[in-house]
């Protein structure tokens, strides 16, 4: 607002300068010929006319003398007096009066016309945008509550319900967000994005669990759009929560197919699928070991991470057709040992030295088993795609996850080996790096 009125004042000043400077510099019209000189010239012409008439005998000597006396008397009365009002002094004062009138009238007229024809409210309305960072959480909550009150009288406003739901979600008020989404879905029942968002906040509202209505909403969204990314991620996480690993893998694979091969998103999906494969194998080998329910659904459609588990069975030994194995030992640098908690998870996986980062074989164990021996072979692969035995050389990596997710996160600890050939043994890996 200050900038706006500064510009207005500058424009008014320029306008006044353009109008007043020429006016004040101009000399008044009274600075013309001397009026006494003009009167004397008239007297001279009249006297010459009398002399001519006397020479021609038109008037007598006495008439000529009387006329000359009359002219002399009139000339004495008119010459030598001070200027009358309306001359030079009065003209100069008039210039200053006009200038003062301009100084008052022009700014006043500009402000009055703008207040009537312009939009002064636009200046005030634009202020919150520049000062939005100064709005407190209490003010935001008040605005959201005002929107909620307005929707009570306008229940058919779909955009209003969606805005209210997203606002509640951002404030962490998940039950209210779920209620707002229910109103929006009632008005637009066939929007997969609305259904997925509804499922997301409803799961958060019921203790970060997708079982029940959230899973049903995700499936309904997929019936409308089978490739909807967030719905696929939610449905896959719900399947993992229910220990339906085959169903979860199928859904993650459908989601992975939507990303270019070798992209970061595809690599993230591959890591999740690898973890689910490991969980599936662990459950088959140790049916009595229950898997930990998955973490809460993530907010990004393609970034839902795989759930964490408490423990895993020991690595299976190589069986018939498992191909050449890679064996070795994982240790941790002493300086980083204090950063490891007993509840952390260790991922050990092999990937091609030259090629995509998709794991060829993976193992998941509790961090409390460190230091530990490991063994990787084709039986620990992805179930599809390249195998450990099918590449010339691999790099073995070990990562300690704080969250239990297969996707690397800041604060995780990691280490890797040099390139080795499948069938190598005695591969030593030291965890000596902190993921940034």
User: What is the rounded radius of gyration, in angstroms, for the C-alpha atoms of the chain?
Assistant: 48
What six digits make up the tokens of 224? 């409308």
Among 350, 344, 383, residue whose Cα is nearest residue 365: 344
DSSP letters along 281-305, please? Answer: HHHHH-TTSPPPPPPPPPSSTT-PP
Residues 7-21: pLDDT tens digits? 777 777 787 777 777
Most distant pair of Cα atoms in the chain: their distance? 163
Give the global pTM: 0.42
Count Cα neighbours of 182 within 13 Å in the Cβ-side half-sphere: 9
Cα distance between residue 84 and residue 94, in whole Å: 15
SS3 166: helix
pLDDT value for 223? 93
- Domain limits of the chain? 139-285, 326-434
Cα distance between residue 229 and residue 254, in whole Å: 9
8 Å CB contact between 410 and 314: no
pLDDT value for 131? 42
Among 167, 249, 174, 182, residue whose Cα is nearest residue 208: 174
Cα distance between residue 436 and residue 123, in whole Å: 45
| Token pair 């958060």 in the structure block, residue | 204
What six digits make up the tokens of 321? 């057709």
| Helix ranges, 290-364 (H) | 334-337
Q: What is the pLDDT along the chain (436 residues), one digit of tens a residue?
A: 566 777 777 777 787 777 777 766 655 544 445 555 666 666 677 777 777 777 877 777 777 777 777 767 666 666 555 555 555 555 566 767 777 777 777 777 777 777 666 656 555 444 444 444 444 456 667 777 888 888 888 888 888 888 888 888 767 788 988 998 999 999 999 999 999 999 998 998 888 888 899 999 999 999 999 999 899 999 999 998 888 888 888 999 898 898 888 777 788 888 888 888 887 776 665 554 444 444 434 433 333 333 333 333 333 333 434 578 899 999 999 898 888 888 888 989 888 888 766 778 888 888 888 898 998 988 776 544 578 888 899 999 999 988 777 667 888 899 999 999 999 999 999 999 998 8
8 Å CB contact between 345 and 413: no
8 Å CB contact between 327 and 374: yes
Q: How far is CA 332 from CA 376, 404, 427, 432, in A?
A: 19, 18, 14, 6
Q: How far is CA 236 from CA 13, 180, 240, 253, 304, in A?
A: 69, 25, 6, 10, 9
Query: What's phi and psi for 54, nearest 5 deg?
Result: -65, -40
SS3 220: helix
139-285 CATH pick, 1.25.40.10, 3.40.50.2000, 3.40.50.300, 3.20.20.150: 1.25.40.10
Among 186, 122, 187, 173, residue whose Cα is nearest residue 144: 173
What six digits make up the tokens of 343? 């509840």
What six digits make up the tokens of 45? 């012409």
Exposure letters 163-179 (e unless 16+ CB within 10 A, then b): bbbbbbbeeebbebbbb
| Token pair 């709005």 in the structure block, residue | 135
User: 345 has which bridge partners?
Assistant: 366, 401
pLDDT value for 304? 38
E strand or H helix at 415 = strand 413-416
pLDDT value for 313? 32
Cα distance between residue 436 and residue 217, in whole Å: 36
8 Å CB contact between 395 and 351: yes
């Amino acid at each position: 607002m200050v900038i706006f009125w500064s510009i207005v004042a500058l424009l008014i000043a320029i306008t006044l300068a353009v109008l007043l400077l020429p006016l004040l510099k101009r000399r008044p019209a009274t600075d013309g010929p001397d009026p006494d000189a003009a009167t004397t010239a008239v007297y001279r012409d009249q006297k010459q006319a009398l002399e001519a008439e006397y020479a021609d005998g038109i008037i007598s000597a006495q008439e000529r003398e009387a006329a000359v006396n009359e002219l002399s008397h009139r000339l004495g009365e008119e010459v030598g007096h001070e200027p009358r009002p309306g001359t030079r002094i009065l003209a100069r004062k008039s210039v200053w009066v006009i200038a003062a009138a301009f100084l008052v009238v022009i700014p006043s007229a500009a402000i009055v016309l703008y207040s009537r024809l312009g939009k002064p409210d636009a200046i005030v309305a634009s202020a919150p945008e520049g000062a939005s960072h100064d709005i407190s959480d209490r003010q935001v909550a008040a605005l959201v509550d005002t929107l909620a009150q307005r929707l009570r009288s306008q229940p058919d406003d779909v955009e209003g319900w969606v805005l209210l739901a997203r606002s509640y979600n951002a404030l962490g008020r998940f039950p209210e967000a779920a209620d707002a989404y229910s109103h929006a879905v009632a008005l637009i029942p066939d929007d997969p994005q609305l259904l997925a968002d509804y499922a997301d906040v409803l799961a958060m509202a019921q203790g970060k669990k997708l079982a029940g209505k959230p899973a049903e909403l995700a499936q309904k969204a997929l019936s409308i759009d089978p490739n909807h990314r967030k719905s696929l991620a939610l449905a896959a996480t719900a399947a993992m929560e229910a220990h339906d690993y085959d169903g979860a893998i199928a859904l993650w694979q459908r989601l992975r197919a939507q990303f270019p091969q070798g992209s970061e998103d595809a690599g993230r999906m591959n890591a999740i699928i690898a973890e689910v494969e490991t969980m599936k194998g662990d459950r088959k080998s140790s049916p009595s070991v229950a898997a930990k329910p998955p973490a809460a659904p993530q907010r990004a459609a393609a970034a839902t991470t795989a759930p964490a588990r408490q423990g895993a069975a020991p690595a299976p030994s190589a069986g018939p057709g498992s191909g050449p194995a890679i064996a070795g030992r994982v240790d941790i640098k002493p300086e980083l040992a204090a950063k490891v908690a007993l509840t952390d998870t260790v991922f050990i996986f092999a990937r091609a030295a030259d090629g995509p980062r998709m794991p060829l074989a993976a193992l998941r164990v509790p961090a409390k088993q460190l230091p530990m021996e490991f063994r990787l072979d084709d039986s620990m692969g992805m179930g599809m795609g390249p195998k450990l035995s099918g590449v010339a050389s691999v790099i073995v990596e070990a990562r300690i996850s704080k969250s239990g997710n297969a996707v690397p996160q800041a604060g995780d600890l990691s280490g890797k080996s040099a390139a080795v050939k499948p069938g190598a043994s005695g591969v030593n890996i030291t965890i000596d790096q902190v993921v940034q």
